[in-house]
């Protein structure tokens, strides 16, 4: 029994390794595989962005193949932002497009043999916190403090703040649920693939490609879409409707 457990532990590789140990103000800290794959994702995106910027800067009247692809991506992302946020989209489509491309590349980097950076809670939680910060900033920018107070006591009148703590908790749950959703989806995909490759050994040839299509491509794309959609919806709600 004990031997079996140990064997399973050693052959299933979830790919979360420390690569380099260093001392951070006296604390022992690690550069892990997450950092390395994050670096790769960033490099790919930066190189792509530089080439895309060059292509658009000297854009031809009749676009070439690469310029066409870049324009298509930008158009699709802008269309997504405008479809959800309406006329508020102009300010936020840069941010939404950026996190869309970043999360999408992070999620499908499992196909390149990297550990998806989004399978680390340290990557997804900051993204959730950014959304939370955007929501708060917009709430204070577009509403008077009295309106916010009324909203926070919402089902009851503002002089009776019994629901206030519950509303605060539900607001604080937003970044946590946003980041945990993305994190748990990608992590479960990663662990599932690690189990398939680790436990089935030689039997896991060729056919796991179908699982990769589901766990990496489909699940990753859906979660990216959901994260961006929810971010836009929350920010739009915070701005409030003068439709």
Partner 1 sequence: MEFNREFILGCSAIGAGLAVIAGIGPGVGQGIAAGHAAAAVGRNPGAKSAITSTMLLGQAVAETTGLYGLLIAFLLLFLKPLLWGVN
By beta-carbon proximity to partner 1, the closer residue of 180 and 196 is 180
By beta-carbon proximity to partner 1, the closer residue of 137 and 176 is 176
Q: How far is the CB of 222 from partner 1 (least distance, A)?
A: 6
By beta-carbon proximity to partner 1, the closer residue of 70 and 93 is 93
Q: How far is the CB of 121 from partner 1 (least distance, A)?
A: 10
Q: How far is the CB of 60 from partner 1 (least distance, A)?
A: 32
Q: Are strands 18-24 and 27-32 parallel, antiparallel or unpaired?
A: antiparallel
User: What residues make contact with partner 1 under the rule CB under 8 A?
Assistant: 1-2, 5, 14, 177, 180-181, 184-185, 187-188, 191, 222-223, 225-226, 229-230
Q: How far is the CB of 120 from partner 1 (least distance, A)?
A: 13
Q: How far is the CB of 18 from partner 1 (least distance, A)?
A: 16
Phi and psi at residue 152, to the nearest 5°: -70, -25
How far, in Å, are 1, 179, 181, 226 from residue 120 at the CA level?
Answer: 31, 10, 12, 18
DSSP of the chain, one letter per residue? -HHHHHHHHHH------EEEEEEETTEEEEEEHHHHHHHHHHHHHHHHHHHHHHHHHT--SS--HHHHHHHHHHHHHHHHHHHHHGGGHHHHHHHHHHHHHHHHHHHHGGGGTSPPGGGSHHHHHHHHHHHHHHHHHHHHHHS-HHHHHHHHTTTS-TT-TTSHHHHHHHHHHHHHHHHHHHHHHHHHHHHHHHHHHHHHGGG-SSTHHHHHIIIIIIHHHHHHHHHHHHHHHHHHHHH----
How far, in Å, are 154, 176, 180, 234, 241 from residue 168 at the CA level?
Answer: 11, 13, 19, 15, 22
By beta-carbon proximity to partner 1, the closer residue of 45 and 129 is 129
Q: How far is the CB of 39 from partner 1 (least distance, A)?
A: 25
Q: How far is the CB of 157 from partner 1 (least distance, A)?
A: 30
By beta-carbon proximity to partner 1, the closer residue of 143 and 181 is 181
By beta-carbon proximity to partner 1, the closer residue of 153 and 232 is 232
By beta-carbon proximity to partner 1, the closer residue of 133 and 188 is 188
């Amino acid at each position: 029994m004990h031997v079996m457990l140990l064997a399973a532990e050693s052959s299933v590789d979830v790919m979360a390794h420390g690569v380099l140990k260093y001392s951070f103000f006296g604390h022992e800290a690690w550069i892990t595989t997450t950092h390395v794959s994050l670096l790769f994702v960033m490099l790919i995106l930066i190189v792509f962005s530089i080439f895309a910027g060059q292509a658009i800067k000297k854009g031809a009247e009749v676009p070439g193949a690469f310029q066409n692809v870049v324009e298509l991506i930008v158009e699709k992302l802008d269309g997504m932002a405008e479809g959800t946020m309406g006329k508020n989209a102009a300010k936020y489509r840069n941010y939404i497009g950026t996190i869309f491309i970043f999360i999408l590349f992070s999620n499908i980097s499992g196909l390149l043999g990297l550990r998806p950076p989004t399978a680390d809670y340290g990557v997804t939680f900051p993204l959730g916190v950014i959304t939370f910060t955007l929501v708060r900033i917009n709430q204070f920018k577009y509403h008077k403090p009295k309106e916010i107070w009324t909203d926070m006591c919402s089902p009851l009148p503002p002089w009776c703040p019994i629901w206030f703590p519950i509303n605060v908790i539900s607001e604080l749950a937003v970044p946590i649920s946003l980041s945990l959703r993305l994190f748990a989806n990608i992590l479960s995909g990663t662990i599932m693939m690690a189990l398939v490759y680790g436990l089935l050994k030689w039997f896991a040839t060729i056919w796991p490609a179908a699982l990769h299509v589901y766990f990496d491509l489909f699940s990753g794309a859906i979660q990216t879409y959901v994260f961006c959609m929810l971010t836009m919806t929350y920010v739009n709600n915070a701005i409030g409707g003068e439709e």
